[in-house]
Chains A and B, each alone.
Chain A
Amino acid sequence: MKHPKIIVVGGGLAGLMATIRVAESGVPVELFSIVPVKRSHSVCAQGGINAAKNQKGEGDTTQKHFDDTIYGGDFLANQPLVKRMCEAAPGIIDLLDRMGVTFNRTPEGLLDYRRFGGTLYHRTAFAGATTGQQLLYALDEQVRRHEAEGRVTKREGWTFLSAVIDETGVARGICAMDLRSMEVKTFHADAVIFCTGGVGAIFGRSTNSVVCTGSAQSALFQQGVDYANGEFIQVHPTAIPGEDKLRLMSESARGEGGRVWVPRNPQEKRAPRSIPEAERFYFLEEWYPKYGNLVPRDIATRAIHRIVYQEKLGLNGQAAVYLDVTHIPRETLDRKLEGILEIYEKFLGVDPRDEPMKVFPAMHYTMGGMWVNAEDQATSIPGIFAAGECEYQYHGANRLGANSLVSCIFGGGIAGPAAVKYARGLEKGTESVAHSVFEHEQRRQEAKNAALIAQDGTENPITIWKELGEVMTEHVTVTRINRNLETAYAKLGELSARYRKINLSDRTRWSNQTLNFARELENMLILARVITIGAFYRNESRGAHYKPDFPDRDDANWLKTTRAKWVNNDIELTYESVDISQIPPRPRRYDAAK
């Protein structure tokens, strides 16, 4: 193919990076996004981005970053790409710096670095406590420049419905829906890169944004894109509970010296700051003296659950612990953490500079995602690539804080050129594919919409979604027990049956958000099953996946990737070995140095 065309679906960090790389290679790229790309979920990333720049003279190296990432991920990640990512990270920081990201600076005018969970080094570059927002804006600006110069066409306000796959099983484009006119349309492409983010909405309330439903990856799964390690769901230890959202309170609060504690006396009635030091239980510092408050997220989350549910030491008997930054000078807090402290203040009306924050763990991130190969982000369907949170490659069984931004940019940066190379290597391009292939996909999607709109049922999609979130949060997050997973799986079946009786309460054909949500919900119900069934079969504890009945990591049986396939309208699990060619697995513990 001399003049290929590329589509990118999703305009967060990974999607924007992929777009820039494709545009730079001179290939036209069409960028699809539900929201204007500047409003993508990457803006919610707070604490920072990792790169072993060793700018504090601590002897940090990319090899140590690599080891921390593999160890933090409990040895489930394939190692070669992770190694490449850690080696590329310092260059990624330089690039972002050149793009004008307002990283915090040292007195010498160099980038400042903070500490983050799962490492003993100052390795995390940051822009206040809104690093994701600043990084996304930098890439958004570069894409806008390419757009102004005619290399990028944006289609914002469109949602992906399905891939267009020809009779030989090769992806040739996508089918998407305009969220205003509700028009369903197909688009040609020689390769498609998916950067469609996380799956938080499957758990109802999470730290994720509204658009993070996993709907695109689920639709692709049902078309034959394999899904790997779905059961690995990260629950962030510190979030602010809320009815609509569990708002993240970044690990950077602890990276800057924040301490987690509860009163030793569960009947404690005094205001937190009047409780003497000796009567406070800094349980992370006591249990994990080496890493203290900066143990990885899975460890901190389980510790908080233990304090609340087993030790019964939750604040006033409730599911909450203190995250305390009141001992840190106000000036430092304002300079380094203002963005996140403002969130707390705004949504709770309490100033965390004066009073310890009340926090509790919340679903935050999926380590699992679309299966991609170990070289260039290609999925199991030719012509489909994936990068960012929607794929599974970089974080194993648990992601380290501040590694997500770097994996998005690295993965997107690989996927762009890989898609171009693939497209250029095609003998016949998408334009040579029979029109009927596209027409058939469009009809199939239009029929789905028509059926949903015509349907006169009794079920409300929001109600079903809330119940989905409740059952997934209760049984498929921090602690997993097989009999509960069976209950959850049965509940998912029941919800799917009820889904068939939904009523949209809106039959209009203009900006019908309920129709779009109903379509996402159907896909969420399928992906929820992939996550649950993966958790059920994995009888061990590894990283974020914790089964009290199988408390240890079991490398003999389970050092393998779960690979889910969609076969005859059902989920089939297969397992493949993990590439551990660089660092041999060793026990993972954070109560002492590695």
Chain B
Amino acid sequence: MAEKQVILRIKRQQSPKEAARWEEFALPWRPSMNVIICLRDIAENPVTRDGKKTTPISYDSNCLEEICGSCAMLINGKARMACSALVDQLEQPIRIEPMTKFPVVRDLAVDRQFMFESLKRVKAWIPIDGTYDLGEGPRLSAEQQEKAYPLSNCITCGSCLEVCPQVNENSKFMGAAIFSQVRLFNMHPTGAMHAKERLQASMGNGGIEDCANSQNCVVACPKGIPLTESLAEVQRDAWKQALFGWLIG
């Protein structure tokens, strides 16, 4: 009997300027394989299924335990982290492509700088006075912590942007991850002092008003973050700010 194999079809692209092409690989199956292990196998023996020599595949990865957010890609059409994509749970041939909402760098590696720039735009931080000793932070109830903690688990992987119909060539919609961070910082007692600035930055080109409530984001999020709640809350607060801001100051 032939050795059990894993068959993969991988979309390759040498550089942003060059055209994409597909390559197929056949790897020896082992228990508990994930997609990263497959990509490493290929790097060790870069030969396609039909015996042609090729180059190792470029991809982003780091922690391999779904907490750094690096290895998001499309696996069988679904945006997900490659490290936790277990081969035995995937239909073969496994189809692997780079995410489509971000510029491709090479092969499966994409540029998600847009997300980090957006975090800058919405001032996703607590503006502390300095790192010198100023005593303890504000007291928070356990309930408040339990509400904030899940939002703070966002790994900026980009899956929510990938599945969002509002993120497209014609729109600069910042995406659910970003507005969820706005909510997180506006929730914090110190952060709330600057909620207005964040809400203002959340409106306008690519802002919260572009959300069309497709709710794809919350399904795609690998960390189970309540993204639609965040969107709704920021939307409501932003409207309030826009309509009555002059009244409430």
Instruction: Report which A residues bind B (CB closer than 8 A).
Output: 17, 20-21, 24, 35-36, 38-41, 43-44, 91, 94-95, 97-100, 102-110, 127-128, 130, 133-134, 137-138, 141-142, 144-145, 147-148, 180, 209-211, 242-245, 247-248, 335, 339, 343, 346-349, 413, 460, 462-463, 466, 505-506, 508, 510-511, 513-514
Q: Can you list 17 contacts pairing A with B, beta carbon distance less than 8 Å? A: A39-B70, A39-B156, A40-B62, A41-B63, A44-B68, A98-B136, A98-B190, A103-B145, A133-B153, A145-B123, A180-B105, A242-B32, A346-B66, A347-B84, A462-B44, A511-B15, A514-B43
Contact between A100 and B185 (Cβ–Cβ < 8 Å)? yes
The answer to whether residues A102 and B152 also contact, given A110-B139, A244-B36, A247-B65 and a CB cut-off of 8 A, is yes
Q: Is B219 an interface residue (CB 8 A)?
A: no
What residues of chain B lie closer than 8 Å to A130, measured between beta carbons?
67, 153
| Interface 1/0 per residue, B180-223 and A, CB below 8 Å | 00000100101100000000000000000000000000000000
What residues of chain A lie closer than 8 Å to B84, measured between beta carbons?
346-347
What residues of chain A lie closer than 8 Å to B185, measured between beta carbons?
100
Interface residues on B, range: 35 or more
Which 5 A-B residue pairs are closest in the complex by CB-CB distance? Answer: A97-B137, A141-B125, A109-B139, A511-B106, A462-B44
Contact between A99 and B15 (Cβ–Cβ < 8 Å)? no
B104 to chain A, nearest CB (A): 10
| Interface 1/0 per residue, B160-187 and A, CB below 8 Å | 0000000000000000000000000100
Binds A, one of B3-11, B53-61, B90-98, B241-249: B53-61
Contact between B64 and A245 (Cβ–Cβ < 8 Å)? yes
The answer to whether residues A144 and B119 also contact, given A39-B68, A210-B62, A506-B56 and a CB cut-off of 8 A, is yes
Interface residues in B15-35 by Cβ distance below 8 A to A read 15, 30, 32-34
Contact between B133 and A144 (Cβ–Cβ < 8 Å)? no
Contact between B142 and A109 (Cβ–Cβ < 8 Å)? yes
What residues of chain B lie closer than 8 Å to A148, measured between beta carbons?
120, 123
Contact between A105 and B44 (Cβ–Cβ < 8 Å)? no
Which of A24, A242, A505 sits near B55, CB closer than 8 Å? A505
The answer to whether residues A142 and B142 also contact, given A38-B69, A95-B131, A343-B65 and a CB cut-off of 8 A, is no
The answer to whether residues A100 and B190 also contact, given A145-B125, A210-B62 and a CB cut-off of 8 A, is yes
The answer to whether residues A514 and B56 also contact, given A24-B131, A134-B152, A245-B65 and a CB cut-off of 8 A, is yes
B82 to chain A, nearest CB (A): 10
Please measure, in the bound complex, the distance between the C-alpha atom of A38 and the C-alpha atom of B60, giving whole angstroms: 14
Contact between A24 and B116 (Cβ–Cβ < 8 Å)? no
Contact between A105 and B140 (Cβ–Cβ < 8 Å)? yes
Contact between A102 and B148 (Cβ–Cβ < 8 Å)? yes
Please measure, in the bound complex, the distance between the C-alpha atom of A427 and the C-alpha atom of B50, giving whole angstroms: 64
Contact between A43 and B140 (Cβ–Cβ < 8 Å)? no
The answer to whether residues A463 and B44 also contact, given A38-B156, A209-B62, A210-B64 and a CB cut-off of 8 A, is yes
Please measure, in the bound complex, the distance between the C-alpha atom of A91 and the C-alpha atom of B137, giving whole angstroms: 11
The answer to whether residues A35 and B120 also contact, given A110-B139, A130-B153, A460-B45 and a CB cut-off of 8 A, is no
What residues of chain B lie closer than 8 Å to A460, measured between beta carbons?
44-45
A455 to chain B, nearest CB (A): 15
Which of B53, B70, B134 has its CB near the most chain A CB atoms (within 10 A)? B70
Q: Is B2 an interface residue (CB 8 A)?
A: no
A48 to chain B, nearest CB (A): 14
What residues of chain B lie closer than 8 Å to A138, measured between beta carbons?
126
Please measure, in the bound complex, the distance between the C-alpha atom of A466 and the C-alpha atom of B44, giving whole angstroms: 10
The answer to whether residues A98 and B137 also contact, given A243-B32, A460-B44, A460-B45 and a CB cut-off of 8 A, is yes
B185 to chain A, nearest CB (A): 7
What residues of chain A lie closer than 8 Å to B137, measured between beta carbons?
94, 97-100
Which of B61, B65, B66, B153 has its CB near the most chain A CB atoms (within 10 A)? B65
Q: Is B46 an interface residue (CB 8 A)?
A: yes
Please measure, in the bound complex, the distance between the C-alpha atom of A88 and the C-alpha atom of B77, giving whole angstroms: 50
Contact between B128 and A99 (Cβ–Cβ < 8 Å)? yes
Q: Is B76 an interface residue (CB 8 A)?
A: no
Q: Is B40 an interface residue (CB 8 A)?
A: yes
What residues of chain B lie closer than 8 Å to A97, measured between beta carbons?
136-137
Contact between B126 and A244 (Cβ–Cβ < 8 Å)? no
Which of A41, A110, A210, A346 sits near B61, CB closer than 8 Å? A210
Contact between B69 and A39 (Cβ–Cβ < 8 Å)? yes
The answer to whether residues A36 and B112 also contact, given A41-B63, A145-B125, A505-B46 and a CB cut-off of 8 A, is yes
Contact between B56 and A43 (Cβ–Cβ < 8 Å)? no
Q: Is B74 an interface residue (CB 8 A)?
A: no
What residues of chain B lie closer than 8 Å to A180, measured between beta carbons?
105-106
What residues of chain B lie closer than 8 Å to A99, measured between beta carbons?
126, 128, 137
Which residue of A is nearest B147, CB measured?
A: A102
Please measure, in the bound complex, the distance between the C-alpha atom of A510 and the C-alpha atom of B106, giving whole angstroms: 8
B231 to chain A, nearest CB (A): 20
A139 to chain B, nearest CB (A): 10
Q: Is B232 an interface residue (CB 8 A)?
A: no
A94-B134, A105-B145, A209-B63 are known; give 18 further A-B pairs, CB within 8 A: A36-B112, A36-B116, A91-B133, A100-B188, A105-B142, A133-B67, A134-B149, A144-B120, A148-B123, A211-B62, A335-B146, A339-B153, A343-B66, A463-B44, A506-B46, A506-B55, A506-B56, A511-B105
